[in-house]
Chain A
């Protein structure tokens, strides 16, 4: 046989028998859903939206952009706390008694943020008043530096300075100005008794942002928020996470990792230990899989929600992506017990 023909035949033979192919996937059976309700919360890929959710009404109550506010004023009758918008990674530092409205020196300041568990004793601004011998509360006239954090794509939002003048007749009075000097503006935020907190934004000369729903109309808040993480060496560092905070009025959470979701009953729910920490559900129901380059729901975590109307719901997370693979769309499955 001529050499060229032999070579050609050999090539043909070898190329035929020596090709490998990628394995095809096999279909899997859908997971049986049962009587539980499933819903997807639309926070967006950049976690721009804060979403208030109510289990009783089976749906979203309201949503707002996380950058719409800076400060939150406590609206309970005896409340006086002022919180930061930790969804934007905001910090505050106490400058002490200094002239207000001038260029402030920020060297050596201790910056802090509000704790994610909602502990009222651990707010960044803290106690902004003194109590006189007569029992009156008067402003301590401290100036607070405010780092407004970042927007949803990581751009810094700038710095401000505030001084709380008083809380009188259910209204907070305060001034705010650019941290590095500028015109001071006056603001007044009257308490709104139906909500937990009333929000305020510095931009556009300052405005009240009444986007939080009434306290008796929601259970869960899907939002980014600032919390403390720890390195492998145990060193703490603040980090912006995306998760769930609970309504501080009447909602508490039990966490269960022992039982199958389908097997949890009302009787079991009544025996569990409940927490009123705002971050009792938190963010760690998912983790970032570096190998896969995506978020994965941590399997086997169940939450029992004792909601604001007194019902028990069992709840678990079933996803973090929408149907087109965008992150920022947590899916929950829940059922009233």
Chain B
């Protein structure tokens, strides 16, 4: 057979065409993983996608876009895992340049959320040896939460408490907010007032999700993590070339919030910027008259930005944020002329810069480093205002003006090995902190504390269903004798739906700079800090038993958990013995405090529409003072919550009802030699939200009612104790009454 030149030419054309039509995918056309709902075939946006090279072993994470697509940029055959709230996790392998359509099977258990808090490497929450709760963006939207106080108030094991000036503080497992560590992307927040953070200052505008671990995490995170850790994870654009989000929120009590964020991604580089303004006009219940508001007006400005550079093995992220709040505390007119008043203005400024580095060194080994500088200023200015002329003059009473500065330098490094095929894995870490505080009531007006720690945690899986993880932390502190901290945790996967976690850990709370170096002396006060203070320490036992089962239509999850905390060396204000001065007080390690309790939580889901959850928590507290005074056993209180949501798929409308009963709470007040017991009565709260998506969910509108039962002041008794106490007979302000809100979210993503 003779092959002519024409035939050769035709063959060449054929090969070329074939090559172009197929090779186009390899060399010119991008490959995507397209994720859709198995039942509706609608694209699943924002699903978590993980590509993990089979040879290199390092994972690359991204999320799907609004069209359900995620770019496949793998360079080797990789394991593919896709997870999203409401769906069963999907596993497969994928080749370089391969496009794939993945149909996710619906489920409601969000156990597959990936968490990072206290983990060796990013891990699924259900796989974690710790009981990690995740509050994701969907739940934030359903609650119409705008700050951490909104978000945590209906959690069954937590309670929030309002103060007109100091803001909202948190209690977990009966332990106050000074025992809770707050992190922003792993960096500790600074700026506690009287040991607590004002949760109204932690906004959710740029938050992807919140990870909460209850129980001591002192081995991993050091001081102030005695009751647990709350890690706020910010949003980060991983796939869109341009992403923009605009939020607006109005509430009938006088809240006007607005924020916007932008993000760009070009190849390995991405940047993001966000900023906004929140305003709250103040509120007092109708029973309270006068110029002074119970809930003070406040205005907040905030901004943050980041730049990240990502390769296959390395990710470097540099970020910074700024927060400025002005809180107005207007005083009532002074009798008998009612012409003048004292107005105080509290300005809080927080700023930080941080570097976050993740480096996959070799197979299953991850090096992480976080370095940050955080600054905190709080300025109090008081003016005497003459309402007859509307002029004001700054008071010259030094007691009415105050400035506090705090700076913290922090570096944290971990080297972790987390190879699921191996029986032994570990995490080795170093935590370096240097904190300074400046203020007029601090000895010599400035003090500094250095805290340097090393920790080691080892995970042993003797058999497939059992994990045991001991840990130890050694600390050197420049100002006080830090205790040795250790913990032991275990997880037993009893069978497919049933797992048991138990842990013992030692926790501690370091004395604050105020407790170490306070100097407050005038004719009626002589209070000095005590530089010889020891840390408060605790022993904690936790357990949780979890059941999770599902079929194609329904899912059920139930959890039973319990805890016991025993704290000693509680730092208390006490009279200085032998001082010859009745007014001489200092801080001492005196008392003991115990908490115990349990929770039952259950969740049921009927795909695709209905989700119901309920929880009950019983928490007991017991105080034992050094002089023998006790509360006489545990004082228990009960909390109940119940949530229900229904989703109408076609019109993309979701209804949600959130209920919580906060039981009668004992409030022990301790001073040098007496224990006073007060109570806050129980009350019910309920919120209702309606959410609808438009234009393929680019626009989402929410509206609803908060505090349906119109709670404002809850009766209390015996609060405020002590010689100077205000009696506390009127009650405790817990809310603005019933309010109505409207929320607008515009979300735009563009892909190349």
What is the interface of chain A, defined by CB distance below 8 A to chain B?
3-4, 6-7, 10-11, 14-15, 18-23, 25-31, 45-47, 89, 147, 150, 152-156, 159, 224, 229-233, 237-240, 261, 288, 290-294, 296-300, 316, 318-319, 321, 323-327
For B330, the closest partner residue in chain A by CB is A25
Whether, in the assembled complex, B419 has its beta carbon less than 8 Å from a beta carbon of chain A, the answer is no
Question: B254–A293 contact, CB under 8 A?
Answer: no
Task: For B397, list chain A residues within 8 Å (CB).
Answer: 45, 321, 325-327
Whether, in the assembled complex, B281 has its beta carbon less than 8 Å from a beta carbon of chain A, the answer is yes
Question: B257–A28 contact, CB under 8 A?
Answer: no
Q: Beyond A31-B339, A231-B723, A323-B393, is A23–B246 a contact (Cβ under 8 Å)?
A: no
> Complex: how many Å from CA A294 to CA B330?
12
Question: B726–A15 contact, CB under 8 A?
Answer: no
For A106, the closest partner residue in chain B by CB is B580
Counting chain B CB atoms within 10 Å of each CB, the highest count among A22, A30, A238 belongs to A22
Task: For B260, list chain A residues within 8 Å (CB).
Answer: 11
Question: B292–A292 contact, CB under 8 A?
Answer: yes
Question: A293–B395 contact, CB under 8 A?
Answer: no
B618 vs chain A, min Cβ distance (A) = 30
Question: B334–A293 contact, CB under 8 A?
Answer: no
CB-contact partner of B279 in A21, A147, A156, A293, under 8 A: A21
Question: A325–B387 contact, CB under 8 A?
Answer: no
Question: B335–A28 contact, CB under 8 A?
Answer: no
Residue contacts A-B, CB under 8 angstroms, 29 given: A3-B242, A7-B246, A7-B746, A20-B281, A22-B297, A23-B282, A25-B387, A26-B387, A27-B390, A28-B338, A28-B388, A29-B388, A30-B339, A31-B336, A153-B521, A154-B523, A231-B722, A232-B721, A232-B723, A233-B674, A239-B524, A240-B523, A290-B724, A293-B399, A296-B334, A298-B335, A324-B396, A325-B395, A326-B395
Whether, in the assembled complex, B750 has its beta carbon less than 8 Å from a beta carbon of chain A, the answer is yes
> Complex: how many Å from CA A245 to CA B366?
75
Question: B722–A325 contact, CB under 8 A?
Answer: no
Task: For A296, list chain B residues within 8 Å (CB).
Answer: 332, 334-335
For A230, the closest partner residue in chain B by CB is B723
Question: B582–A238 contact, CB under 8 A?
Answer: yes
Whether, in the assembled complex, B32 has its beta carbon less than 8 Å from a beta carbon of chain A, the answer is no
Whether, in the assembled complex, B351 has its beta carbon less than 8 Å from a beta carbon of chain A, the answer is no
B565 vs chain A, min Cβ distance (A) = 29
> Complex: how many Å from CA A31 to CA B387?
11
Question: A319–B334 contact, CB under 8 A?
Answer: yes
B635 vs chain A, min Cβ distance (A) = 19
Task: For A159, list chain B residues within 8 Å (CB).
Answer: 580
For A6, the closest partner residue in chain B by CB is B748
Question: A18–B258 contact, CB under 8 A?
Answer: yes
Task: For A20, list chain B residues within 8 Å (CB).
Answer: 254-256, 279-281, 299
Q: Beyond A18-B257, A290-B724, A299-B336, is A46–B523 a contact (Cβ under 8 Å)?
A: yes
> Complex: how many Å from CA A240 to CA B582?
11
Question: A46–B400 contact, CB under 8 A?
Answer: no
Question: A156–B581 contact, CB under 8 A?
Answer: yes
CB-contact partner of B394 in A18, A26, A319, A325, under 8 A: A325
> Complex: how many Å from CA A327 to CA B748?
57
Task: For A47, list chain B residues within 8 Å (CB).
Answer: 523
Task: For A292, list chain B residues within 8 Å (CB).
Answer: 292, 329, 331-332, 342, 344
- B162-180 near A? 1/0 per residue, CB < 8 Å: 0011000000000000000
Q: Beyond A18-B258, A28-B388, is A237–B723 a contact (Cβ under 8 Å)?
A: yes
Whether, in the assembled complex, B382 has its beta carbon less than 8 Å from a beta carbon of chain A, the answer is yes
B745 vs chain A, min Cβ distance (A) = 11
Question: B384–A325 contact, CB under 8 A?
Answer: yes
Task: For B382, list chain A residues within 8 Å (CB).
Answer: 293-294, 325
- B288-306 near A? 1/0 per residue, CB < 8 Å: 0000100001010000000
- B568-583 near A? 1/0 per residue, CB < 8 Å: 0000000000001111
B382 vs chain A, min Cβ distance (A) = 7
What is the interface of chain B, defined by CB distance below 8 A to chain A?
164-165, 242, 244, 246, 248, 250, 254-258, 260, 277, 279-282, 292, 297, 299, 328-329, 331-340, 342, 344, 382-385, 387-390, 393-400, 521-526, 580-583, 674, 676, 721-727, 744, 746, 748, 750
CB-contact partner of A240 in B282, B292, B299, B524, under 8 A: B524
For A331, the closest partner residue in chain B by CB is B337
> Complex: how many Å from CA A45 to CA B396?
9
Task: For B724, list chain A residues within 8 Å (CB).
Answer: 288, 290
CB-contact partner of A23 in B255, B297, B746, under 8 A: B297
B163 vs chain A, min Cβ distance (A) = 10
Question: A299–B335 contact, CB under 8 A?
Answer: yes
Task: For B328, list chain A residues within 8 Å (CB).
Answer: 22
Task: For B387, list chain A residues within 8 Å (CB).
Answer: 25-28
> Complex: how many Å from CA A14 to CA B699?
14
Task: For B400, list chain A residues within 8 Å (CB).
Answer: 293-294, 325
> Complex: how many Å from CA A263 to CA B385?
29
Counting chain A CB atoms within 10 Å of each CB, the highest count among B248, B292, B393 belongs to B248
> Complex: how many Å from CA A318 to CA B339?
11
B97 vs chain A, min Cβ distance (A) = 29
Task: For A27, list chain B residues within 8 Å (CB).
Answer: 387-390
Question: A154–B521 contact, CB under 8 A?
Answer: yes
Question: A18–B256 contact, CB under 8 A?
Answer: yes
> Complex: how many Å from CA A6 to CA B699?
13
A242 vs chain B, min Cβ distance (A) = 9
Given contacts A28-B388, A224-B523, 7 further A-B contacts (CB under 8 A): A7-B746, A26-B387, A27-B387, A154-B523, A155-B521, A296-B332, A325-B384
Question: A14–B393 contact, CB under 8 A?
Answer: no
Task: For B522, list chain A residues within 8 Å (CB).
Answer: 46, 153-154
A33 vs chain B, min Cβ distance (A) = 9
> Complex: how many Å from CA A237 to CA B524?
13
For B671, the closest partner residue in chain A by CB is A231
A239 vs chain B, min Cβ distance (A) = 7
For B387, the closest partner residue in chain A by CB is A28
Q: Beyond A152-B523, A291-B292, A293-B382, is A324–B393 a contact (Cβ under 8 Å)?
A: yes
Counting chain B CB atoms within 10 Å of each CB, the highest count among A147, A319, A325 belongs to A325
Task: For A321, list chain B residues within 8 Å (CB).
Answer: 384, 395, 397
> Complex: how many Å from CA A28 to CA B291?
12
For A48, the closest partner residue in chain B by CB is B523
Question: B385–A25 contact, CB under 8 A?
Answer: yes
Question: B248–A14 contact, CB under 8 A?
Answer: yes
Task: For B336, list chain A residues within 8 Å (CB).
Answer: 31, 261, 297, 299-300, 316, 318
Question: A294–B521 contact, CB under 8 A?
Answer: no
> Complex: how many Å from CA A6 to CA B723?
62
For B297, the closest partner residue in chain A by CB is A22
CB-contact partner of A14 in B258, B388, B582, under 8 A: B258
Task: For B383, list chain A residues within 8 Å (CB).
Answer: 325
> Complex: how many Å from CA A323 to CA B394?
10
For A7, the closest partner residue in chain B by CB is B244
Counting chain A CB atoms within 10 Å of each CB, the highest count among B281, B332, B334 belongs to B334
> Complex: how many Å from CA A23 to CA B250?
17
Question: A293–B390 contact, CB under 8 A?
Answer: no
> Complex: how many Å from CA A318 to CA B164?
27
Question: B299–A22 contact, CB under 8 A?
Answer: yes
For A321, the closest partner residue in chain B by CB is B384
Question: A10–B746 contact, CB under 8 A?
Answer: yes
For A29, the closest partner residue in chain B by CB is B388
A-B complex: 4 closest residue pairs judged by Cβ atoms: A325-B395, A299-B335, A20-B279, A325-B384
Task: For B277, list chain A residues within 8 Å (CB).
Answer: 19
> Complex: how many Å from CA A30 to CA B722?
39
Question: B726–A290 contact, CB under 8 A?
Answer: yes
Task: For B340, list chain A residues within 8 Å (CB).
Answer: 319
For A299, the closest partner residue in chain B by CB is B335
> Complex: how many Å from CA A46 to CA B282?
34
> Complex: how many Å from CA A14 to CA B743?
12
Counting chain B CB atoms within 10 Å of each CB, the highest count among A155, A231, A300 belongs to A231
A230 vs chain B, min Cβ distance (A) = 8
For A66, the closest partner residue in chain B by CB is B523
Question: B246–A11 contact, CB under 8 A?
Answer: yes
Task: For B394, list chain A residues within 8 Å (CB).
Answer: 324-325
